[in-house]
């Protein structure tokens, strides 16, 4: 029986395969299943990691406080305390953080909101969740630094703060501090990707290595980032860099196939045909047969229509017949051959939209408007109601 972590990976793989269908409910089901299995895996190992998490939690606190000390944050704290326009939180200060004989009054909910480790400490199953006084004397934290963090907890974190903190967290390889900062960077997507500082951390090879040392350079992270970037712009340098990092993080066959295919798509959009064929030719070695269609499209865009047709024709003859293969060949055929491929594609896979649209276009040219609209309407009910807009365009 597959382990929960492996099952989660299978769910993400399923998501990547079904994404082309555009079925939102189905995709959400895949993602929820992946998350449920990851959570189950995390729960099973939680008992063994309690001591490590507790130590790292304190490390996160120390790093945060040392950052404020090193950047002279105490001056900012004093300025805020003296600012008449700075309003103290209405929520009651219900936690005392102690360093020696000195005390810092804190708002439990605000401190917990700084990161998941603080949430676990103050609202989880740790002893601190039931204590009104928490002693940090043995953790090397100064009162000034702790007071700075308390002020920080009552003000909204921003991108600049996160970038400075993550640099310190990466230097100290503090897993939880880096995780907290990544949450801020990800919450600001896609805007944060335009920041040079964020690009340096997330997009560069050096940044990926540093994240890896802190335990955060995962395939899932870069899969998510690359999808966001591709939705913003298929041809941007940011998209290319994130996909290259995705390829570097790929370990399983399907991950390597996916990253190579996505790079091929981007190269095709950028009209860099040498790169397009390089990546599309590499992807089938890991089982991504559809990438051959990408090579054919690159040849077609370079004026090699017959070569594209023959490539897909060979693909059909060498593999089990699948609807998308006939759909791809129909793109390069003419006349009756094109129509026959469209009909064959629909017979093998009624969910394909291009054959239905093409037949509708033929009917429109034959002045059979009603038949064309009825055909597209039937398809829209099967696939997605948003196709009604496409019907209006036709």
> Each residue of 344-363: pLDDT tens digit?
998 898 878 787 777 777 77
**What pLDDT is attached to residue 5?**
67
CA distance 274 to 281: 11
In percent, the amount of the chain with pLDDT more than 90 equals 32
Q: Residues 290-314: pLDDT tens digits? A: 999 999 999 999 999 999 999 999 9
- The secondary structure of the chain in percent helix, strand, coil, rounded to multiples of 5, reads 75, 5, 25
Per mean pLDDT, which of 1-15, 118-132, 275-289 is the most reliable? 275-289
Q: Is the pLDDT of residue 69 over 60?
A: no
- The more confidently predicted of residues 2 and 339 is 339
Torsion sign over Cα 249, 250, 255, 256: positive
pTM of the model: 0.68
**What pLDDT is attached to residue 234?**
93
Q: What's the rounded mean pLDDT across residues 174-192?
A: 85
Q: Residues 34-59: pLDDT tens digits? A: 877 766 554 444 444 444 444 444 44
**What pLDDT is attached to residue 198?**
92
State the pLDDT confidence band at 365, using cuts at 50, 70 and 90.
low
Q: Residues 224-264: pLDDT tens digits? A: 999 999 999 999 999 999 999 999 999 999 999 999 999 99
Q: Is the pLDDT of residue 65 over 70?
A: no
Half-sphere exposure of residue 327: CA atoms within 13 angstroms, side-chain side:
20
Closest CA to 261 of 237, 233, 286: 286
């Amino acid at each position: 029986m597959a382990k929960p972590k492996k099952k989660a990976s299978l769910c993400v793989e399923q998501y990547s395969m079904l994404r082309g269908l555009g079925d939102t409910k189905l995709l959400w089901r895949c993602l929820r299943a992946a998350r449920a299995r990851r959570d189950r895996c995390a729960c099973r190992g939680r008992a063994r990691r309690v001591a490590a998490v507790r130590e790292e939690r304190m490390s996160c606190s120390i790093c945060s406080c040392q950052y404020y000390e090193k950047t002279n944050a105490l001056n900012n704290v004093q300025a805020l305390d003296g600012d008449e326009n700075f309003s103290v939180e209405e929520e009651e200060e219900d936690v005392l953080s102690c360093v020696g004989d000195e005390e810092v009054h804190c708002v439990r909910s605000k401190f917990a909101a700084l990161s998941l480790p603080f949430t676990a400490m103050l609202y989880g199953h740790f002893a601190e969740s039931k204590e009104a006084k928490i002693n940090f004397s043995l953790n090397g934290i100064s009162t000034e630094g702790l007071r700075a963090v308390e002020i920080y907890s009552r003000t909204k974190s921003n991108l600049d703060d996160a970038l400075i903190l993550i640099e310190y967290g990466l230097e100290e390889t503090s897993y939880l501090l880096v995780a907290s900062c990544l949450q801020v960077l990800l919450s600001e997507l896609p805007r944060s990707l335009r920041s040079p500082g964020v690009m340096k951390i997330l997009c560069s090879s050096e940044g990926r290595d540093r994240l890896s040392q802190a335990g955060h350079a995962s395939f899932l992270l870069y899969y998510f980032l690359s999808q966001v970037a591709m939705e913003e712009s298929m041809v941007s340098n940011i998209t290319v860099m994130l996909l290259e990092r995705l390829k570097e993080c790929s370990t399983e066959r399907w991950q390597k196939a996916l990253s190579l295919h996505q790079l091929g798509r981007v190269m095709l959009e950028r009209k860099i045909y040498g790169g397009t064929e390089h990546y599309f030719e590499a992807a089938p070695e890991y089982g991504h047969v559809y990438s051959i269609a990408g090579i054919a499209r690159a040849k077609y865009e370079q004026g090699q229509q017959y070569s594209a047709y023959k490539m897909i024709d060979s693909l059909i003859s060498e593999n089990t017949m699948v609807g998308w293969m006939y759909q791809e060949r129909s793109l390069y055929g003419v006349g009756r051959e094109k129509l026959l491929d469209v009909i064959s594609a629909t017979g093998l896979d009624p969910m394909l939209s291009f054959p239905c649209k093409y037949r509708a276009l033929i009917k429109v040219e034959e002045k059979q408007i009603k038949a064309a609209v009825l055909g597209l309407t039937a398809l829209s009910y099967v696939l997605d109601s948003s196709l009604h807009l496409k019907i209006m365009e036709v």
